[in-house]
Amino acid sequence: MGTPMIDFAVREAKFVVDGPMAICRFGSACSMSKQCKIGNVVLASKGGFIVQTDFDKLHDADNDELPYKISDLAKPDDTLIKHMDLHLRNSTEEGNYKQGLLATSDSFYNT
């Protein structure tokens, strides 16, 4: 989804909601884990972070630094994660449900 779209979605939703709000995103993602296969359902139970392209460093051949900024870990709400975990354990096929850490980027296919 990328951060620009989630930013837009949260701001628009908050405009019509009074009080606290919980947002759960369901969608596609890729994984670097050998334990995750196509079609798995993964809950970001350990939280997530964002990887953003640092365009100032992207094409700088003289720079040894990676052209990315990586945020600190954003931890999930414990109550929401427990509720989602219970639901997913009871509604997914055996072996199809995983938990882990989420990484997102500032575009769908980052540079």
pLDDT digit string, tens, across residues 38-57: 888 999 999 988 888 888 88
Residues listed for the chain: 111
With H, G, I as helix, E, B as strand and everything else as coil, classify residue 102: strand
Is residue 2 within 8 A of residue 104, CB to CB? The reply is yes
Is residue 47 within 8 A of residue 74, CB to CB? The reply is yes
pLDDT of 92 higher than 70: yes
Q: pLDDT grade, residue 2 (50/70/90)? A: low
Is residue 104 within 8 A of residue 48, CB to CB? The reply is yes
Secondary structure element (H or E) that encloses residue 57, with its range: helix 55-58
